Amino acid sequence: MQFSGVKAVTLAFLSAILLNACSTLSGGGFDGGSGDFAAGSRLSYNLSGGDRSALADAFLSAMETGAETPWRGRNANGAVTPGDYSLSNLKADPRERLILARSDIDIARRMETDLGLYALTSNSNVRTGPGTTYKIATMLPSGAGVEVVGRVVGAPWMLVSHEGRIAGYIHENLMIKAPGTELELAGGPHRRPILCREFIQRVEVYGEVDAWTGGACNDGAGWRLAAEPEPLAEDYVDDELMGL
């Protein structure tokens, strides 16, 4: 089965899904086992052990590389199309996800979370990690508003979101609480960010086709399914994914 003919349509649909940066993890944690990446499909029970192994290899590759990854087992074939990286465990609802602007942002530190709106007091370098030795990801002008989603515990660096995406780190001396928010309580519990990614999956087994969306997260123990899977509309499966 070839997927190139539907790749543009699939990616466009995925982009629409990812516009909602407030996707949630169900149940406050991970739902699927680390090896059952077909758990969201009505055809999952038809997959052999070899099919599941081929899917698992493709799924993990897609999560790490960000590339659409086809797979083929003995009885089934399919493809995994990953979305952007996002972070969870930073907001008041730890399941809420924030999209990363770039994949090289250092998220290894524990943080005081969800500090709220700030304004920059000067032109500010936004760095990929909490220190001047990290490379500059971008620069934001004086007066720009940012949402601080985390302050590194034991270091004066803020992880900030700008225009709906996590941009990187800014030194805390370069910002003040945004006017009108000074009296609001700021600062949540200490948490470590969790790396997540949405995806679209497609599987064909014994002539039947299914497609669904979901999410996976990696808390340091490997990628596991996280979000409740959502089946794609039947006409999308029949028309778009079949390339008609």
- pLDDT by residue (tens digit) across 136-185? 999 999 999 999 999 999 999 999 999 999 999 999 999 998 877 766 66
- Widest pairwise Cα distance in the chain: 62
Question: Comparing C-alpha atoms, which of 165, 178, 208, 182 is closest to residue 76?
Answer: 208
- Whole-number pLDDT of residue 92: 86
Whether the predicted model's global pTM rises above the 0.85 cut: no
With a CB cutoff of 8 Å and minimum separation 6, the contacts of 99 are 18, 21, 84, 85, 86, 164, 165, 166
Q: Which CA distances in Å does 124 have to 24, 170, 213, 222?
A: 31, 7, 38, 35
Question: Comparing C-alpha atoms, which of 175, 220, 171 is closest to residue 194?
Answer: 220
Domain ranges within the chain, ordered by starting residue: 4-87+195-240, 108-191
- pLDDT by residue (tens digit) across 88-119? 999 888 888 999 999 899 999 999 998 889 99
The CATH architecture assigned to 108-191 reads: Roll (2.30)
* 54-104-137 Cα angle (round to 5): 150
206-211: which pairs have CB atoms within 8 A and are 24 or more residues apart?
A: 206/46, 206/75, 206/76, 208/43, 208/46, 209/237, 209/238, 209/241, 209/242, 210/41, 210/42, 210/43, 210/237, 211/236, 211/237, 211/241
- pLDDT by residue (tens digit) across 43-95? 999 999 999 999 999 999 999 999 999 999 999 999 999 999 999 999 888 88
